[in-house]
Structure 1
Amino acid sequence: MLFWHSQPEHYWPTPAEHYQNPPSSIYRETIQLPFLKQEDQTPIVPLCPAFQCVLCAPSSPGIKLHEETLTYLNQGQSYEIRLLSNWKGLGELAEGRRLLRSVVRVVFHDRRLQYSERQQLESWQLNHPGDRILDIDIPLSVGVTDPLVNPNTLNTIEFLWDPSKRTSVFIQVNCISTEFTQRKNGGEKGAPFRIQVDTYKGDAHGGFTEHLYSCSCQVKVFKPKGADRKQKTDREKVEKRSALEREKYQPACESTILTECIPWPDIEAPRSPPSTPSSFRMPTPERACASPVCASDSSTESSAEQSLSPSSSISETQQWLVRNRFSNYCRTFSNFTGADLLKLSRKDLTQICGVADGIRLAHSLSARSVRPRLTLYIATDTSEKKTTDDTSQTVYQELYLEEMTAAELTTKVADLFSVPANHIQQISRTGPHGIHILLSDMMVRHMPDESCFMATLQKMHNSDCFHCILR
C-alpha cells in the first residue's frame, strides 16, 4: 500500500511541523512545584533539526514505550522518503554548489549479521542473480537529480538534491527479512533491517565529502501484502489488552521519522561533480564490420576471440564473460570451464540468469550472427572500360548494409577502391537509356537484396574527388 500525502498538494510541511514530540519523549510538561517560582520557569521549546527524513509508512503499534519504532514494509513496493531541510548554512553556499549528496542504504540491525554483512549479501546475490536489494523508483521521485545505482553495491543508492526545494525519493526493498535467518519461520522471526540516509555537502574541489547529517530507522520486510497483515495483527493484539497495559505501547503513526545516528563507516570514493546523463548510459558494443573487405585475417581473429571454445580454461571463461558484458555472473560461473558453460541449455541459462540475460547468454554461446538488412555484390572496374557480356570471369565482393543509407554505401564502396570516403563526392546508378540517377537513401532502401553492380570511379574535373557509377 502506498501512502501519499494526507495534506493538500500545495501544502508541504516544514521540519518543525513534522517534528512532533511523542508522549514518551524527554520534553515533558513542567511540574508545578510549590517551592519554585513559576515566573522564573521558561518553557522548553523543542529544537527544530536542520535536516529530517520521513519514511511514509506507518509504524507498528506493538512496540512498547522507550523502545525504537519498527516499520513493516512490503517487498518490491515503492515507499516515499521525504527529505526536509531547515539548514541555516544554505545561504553561505555559492549558487553552483547548493546541491547536496544523499546516500540511502539498507543494512542489518543485528550486530551478528553486521559482522558477516559481506558474506550475507554475496549469498543473496547468488540466489537472485541480476536483482538488487535496494532500488530507486525514479518516475515517482521528486526533486532528485543525477541518481546513481552502483552495480557493485546492491544495497545502496545515491542522488543529488537541492535543500531549498521539495524533495522526495521513492525506494524499493527487494529482499525479505526471512532470507537472512537460519530458520525460516515467517516474517515475524525475520532479521530486522535499518534504512539509513547519509547526507554530504560539496567541497571546493567539486566532490561531496563533508558530512552533514545521518539518520536511520528500523524496518522489517515481508512478502507482498505481508506488512499489511502484520500491522493488523499487532493492532488487534494491543486492542485486546486492558487500558492500563495499552498505555505501555507507543501509538502507531502514519509516518516514521528517521532518528539521527552516526554516519555509515564505509569509506567510499568521493563522488565527482554532476555529469551529463550520457555518462550513466550503458556502453554499446562496437558494430562489427561485415563487409567482404573487413573479412580479413583480423576479423577472423576477432571473431575467434569472441567465441567460447570447449577447451577454454576457467580464467579464459571469466574473461569471455566480462568481454561480452556478463560480469555480473562471473561469481556464479566462477568454477565453470568453456565446456561446462557450453553444456548448459537455454532453459538452464534462463533459470540461472533470468529470462533476458539468459537468452542473451545463450545466443552469445551459440555465436549466432545477425543477418544484414541488405546484401549487395559489387565488382570494381578500375580500368574504366565498358563491361562485356561475359561476366563469368568477373569477381564480385559482398557488401553488407545495416543502416541502408547512401552514406553507408559510399563508405563501403570507398573501402573497395581504397580511397577516403570524403573523396567520393557523388555516387550514381545507371538508369533507363544510360542516364545517371543520383543515389539517395530512398533508392538504397528499395534496392533488391543480393543485387549485382559494376562500380567505376571517374575523376572529376579540377578536383581530387571522384564520381562513382554503379552499372
Structure 2
Amino acid sequence: MLFWHSHPETYQQHAQNNFIRDALAPFLKHEEEQQSTEIRVSPFHYVLCAATSPAVKLQEETLTYLNQGQSYEIRMLNRKLVEYTDISSKHIKSIVRVVFHDRRLQYTEHQQLEGWRWNRPGDRILDIDIPLSVGIIEPRAHPLQLNTIEFLWDPDKNASVFIQVNCISTEFTPRKHGGEKGVPFRIQIDTFAAGEHGEYTEHMLSASCQVKVFKPKGADRKLKTDREKIEKKSPQDRDKYQPSYKTTVLTECSPWPEAPSVNRTSNTPSPGYHSAHTSYSFPEENCSPDQQEELHLPSCSDHLLPSSSMQDTQQWLHSNRFSSFCRLFSGFSGSDLLKMSREDLIQICGAADGIRLFNAIKGRCIQPRLTVYVSQLQNRNQLHTKTAGEDVYHALYLEDLTVLELTEKIANLYNVPSQQILCVYRQGPTGIHVLVSDEMVQNFTEESSFIISTMKDECNDGYHVVLK
C-alpha cells in the first residue's frame, strides 16, 4: 500500500522556514529528523544515469524522463568519508521502488496496481537487468510486489544496478481524447544494515527522485522539446529554470512506510529473482491439495482484532491507508483502537478521516457474491472404499462471477499457474462437456458443490478442468 510521502525540500526552503519549524516542532518531527540527516554527511549517495529536464523552475524538484523497458543505471557511490565500523555484516540491503508521486494516486495505489496487473498479466512494473548490474548479489523480486526489487551489496565498494520500468505514466491517467498528461512516479531506494539477529532492519539511508516514463524513444523526444522550449525564452526567463544535468542525484528523504515489512523474515523464504518460465505440474487425480491453506475472505484477513499488538496495529494502519496517523497511534494496540468511539476518532483525526477510520475498525466482513465447493476426483479404485480424509471439499469465494476468476481460484487452490488451466468445462447430460462461460458462472446456484477432474492437453503442458 502506498501512502503520502513528503518530497525533498531544498536548503533555501529550510533556511526561510526555520522560525515556523520552531513553533510547529511537535507536529513536524519528521522534517526535523530530515534536517538532522542533512547536517550529518551521508556515507554514500545514489545517482540515476539519466538527464534531468531543463523545463523545471528553480524552486521545484528535478524531473527526469525515462523510456519504457530501457535499462538505466543507478550508481551507489561511496563518499569515502565514513568508516563502516558500526555495520555488523559485510553487505547491506537496498530496496528499490517505483511509487506514485501524487498523493491522490497513493491513496488508490492498490486498485491502480491491480488494474495494471489485470491488463498486463505476467509483467512487472520494475525489473532488474542482472547482466549489466555490477557489485550486487542475491537480487530478488517478489511475485506479488510488482513495483519492488531488492538486492545486497558491499558498502565499501561502488556498485551499480540497472533497472527497467515497464509501465508508462499515461497508463494511470483517465482516458479522454488522447494526448493526456502522464502522472509522475518516484524512484525510491531504502537501504538497511543487518541487525543483531541477521535481519536487515537498521535503516541507513533513503533517497528518491521524480520521474516520468514514456513509450520507447518518447523520453528523448520530450527532453528535446523541453530544451527547444527553454531556448526560445528570453535570458531573463531562462534564469528562472534549472539547467539540465546529465545525471540525476537522488535526494535524501525519510524511509518508505512499508520498508520494515519488506525486510521482516517470514515462514517462507522470498523467491529469488528470475525471468525464465518455471514449469509446474497439476496435482494427480488421486491426491487432494497437500497442506493447502483454507481460502478466506480478503476483507476478513485484514480485520483489526482485540489481540493485535502495537506492531500489528501499525501494519494494519499502513495497509488500510492510515499511515499519516501511525505516529499518533504508535502506542495503541488493537484493543485500544477498538474501544474508541466514532466521536473520539473524529475529534482526533478530523471528520473525513475519523469516519473512515471508524468504519474500517468496526466494519464487518464483506460477504462474497457466490460460494461454491469443490473436491478433487479420487482414484477409481478408491471410489467404493471411503476412508478418513476423503471427499474433502474446499470453498471458493467469487466476487466478479467470471470464468477467469473461477480459473484463478482453482489454480490457487491447487498451487498451479492459472495459465496452465486452458479451459473449464461442466459435465452436462449424458456426460457431455459444456464450456463454462461468464453467464454460466453467474447462474451457478449458491453453495453448489462440484468434483474436479483434469485432462492433460495433448499439444502442450496445459490441463482442461471438468466440473462434475
TM-score, L = length of structure 2: 0.54
Q: Secondary structure at the match of 2:227?
A: helix
Q: CA deviation at 1:321?
A: 1.1
Give the 3 Å change call, closer, same or farther, for CA 187–146 of structure 1 in structure 2: farther
Query: Is residue 420–residue 461 contact of structure 2 (8 Å, CA) maintained in 1?
Result: no
Matched ranges for 1:59-458 at <5 A: 59-86=52-79, 88-94=82-88, 97-183=89-175, 189-266=181-258, 267-272=260-265, 285=281, 297=381, 317-322=407-412, 323=414, 325-326=416-417, 342=435, 363-365=462-464
Q: Deviations over 1:235-292 (max 9, x none)?
A: 000001111111111110000000011111115143559x999977858549979xxx
Q: Deviations over 1:388-436 (max 9, x none)?
A: xxxxxxxxxxxxxxxxxxxxxxxxxxxxxxxxxxxxxxxxxxxxxxxxx
**Matching residue of 1:399:** none
Cα distance in structure 1, aligned partners of 2:196 and 2:119: 43
**Matching residue of 2:451:** none
Q: Secondary structure at the match of 2:117?
A: helix
Cα distance in structure 1, aligned partners of 2:238 and 2:66: 24
Q: Deviations over 1:349-404 (max 9, x none)?
A: xxxxxxxxx9999832279xxxxxxxxxxxxxxxxxxxxxxxxxxxxxxxxxxxxx
Q: Secondary structure at the match of 2:51?
A: coil
Query: Is residue 87–residue 194 contact of structure 2 (8 Å, CA) maintained in 1?
Result: no
Query: Is residue 90–residue 98 contact of structure 1 (8 Å, CA) maintained in 2?
Result: no
Give the 3 Å change call, closer, same or farther, for CA 70–228 of structure 1 in structure 2: same
User: Match of 1:60, as an amino acid?
Assistant: S
Q: CA deviation at 1:48?
A: 4.7
**Matching residue of 1:460:** none
Q: Secondary structure at the match of 1:237?
A: helix
Cα distance in structure 2, aligned partners of 1:134 and 1:187: 25
Q: Secondary structure at the match of 1:120?
A: helix
Query: Is residue 54–residue 256 contact of structure 1 (8 Å, CA) maintained in 2?
Result: yes
Give the 3 Å change call, closer, same or farther, for CA 58–338 of structure 1 in structure 2: farther
Query: Is residue 129–residue 329 contact of structure 1 (8 Å, CA) maintained in 2?
Result: no
Give the 3 Å change call, closer, same or farther, for CA 254–337 of structure 1 in structure 2: farther
Q: CA deviation at 1:57?
A: 0.2
Cα distance in structure 1, aligned partners of 2:283 and 2:465: 18
Cα distance in structure 1, aligned partners of 2:72 and 2:129: 9
Query: Is residue 70–residue 218 contact of structure 1 (8 Å, CA) maintained in 2?
Result: yes
User: Match of 1:321, as an amino acid?
Assistant: A
Q: CA deviation at 1:49?
A: 2.7
Cα distance in structure 1, aligned partners of 2:11 and 2:458: 57
Cα distance in structure 1, aligned partners of 2:416 and 2:216: 32
Q: Deviations over 1:132-162 (max 9, x none)?
A: 1111111111111101100111110111111
Percent identical: 51
Cα distance in structure 2, aligned partners of 1:277 and 1:178: 31
User: Match of 2:416, as an amino acid?
Assistant: R
TM-score, L = length of structure 1: 0.54
Q: CA deviation at 1:186?
A: 6.1
Cα distance in structure 2, aligned partners of 1:155 and 1:329: 25
Q: Secondary structure at the match of 1:325?
A: coil
**Matching residue of 1:377:** none
**Matching residue of 1:4:** none
Q: CA deviation at 1:320?
A: 3.1
**Matching residue of 2:310:** none
Q: CA deviation at 1:93?
A: 3.2
Larger Rg: 1
Length, aligned pairs only: 300
Q: CA deviation at 1:182?
A: 1.3
User: Match of 1:170, as an amino acid?
Assistant: F
Q: Deviations over 1:32-75 (max 9, x none)?
A: xxxxxxxxxxxxxx975322110000000111111100000000
Q: Secondary structure at the match of 1:268?
A: helix
Give the 3 Å change call, closer, same or farther, for CA 277–262 of structure 1 in structure 2: closer
Q: Secondary structure at the match of 1:92?
A: coil
Cα distance in structure 1, aligned partners of 2:460 and 2:261: 32
Query: Is residue 177–residue 221 contact of structure 1 (8 Å, CA) maintained in 2?
Result: yes
> Using CA pairs below 8 Å that are at least 6 residues apart, which structure has the higher relative contact order?
2
Cα distance in structure 2, aligned partners of 1:134 and 1:181: 19
Cα distance in structure 2, aligned partners of 1:62 and 1:171: 25
Cα distance in structure 1, aligned partners of 2:126 and 2:216: 16
